[in-house]
Amino acid sequence: MHTIPLKLLTIIGESVLEDRLVRFLRDHGARGYTAYDVRGEGSRGVRSAHPDERNVKITTVVSPQVADAILEALAREYFPFYAVIAYVEEVHVVRGEKYI
């Protein structure tokens, strides 16, 4: 089956950031996204002061260039201010042309 290698970018942050992060992804070139609620604790090893606080996991399939642009902007605009986690994986996508 013909697939195209692309990047699956995952961002995890507080639920209140969802709309803003979705706009942010679009502004940097993402053409779609998936979001769902998660619970958890960050890598700082301490429970949040608000343990009931919901987090959101947002994933988007993008080109390597768009992934890089998003990570650069996240590092500049979000990481100094919010407990946001981001990582990138290699995926092989059917009809991947749609994402470029």
Which positions lie near a second copy, rule CB under 8 A? 1, 3, 6, 8, 10, 12, 31-45, 55, 57, 61, 68, 71-72, 74-75, 79, 85-95, 98-99
Nearest Cα residue to 86 out of 32, 5, 25, 39: 25
What is the C-alpha to C-alpha distance for residues 33 and 10, in angstroms, rounded to an integer? 10
The two three-digit tokens of residue 92, written as one number? 């092989």
Least spacing, CB of residue 13 vs a second copy, in Å: 11
- Comparison of 53 and 72: residue with beta carbon closer to a second copy: 72
Least spacing, CB of residue 34 vs a second copy, in Å: 4
Least spacing, CB of residue 52 vs a second copy, in Å: 14
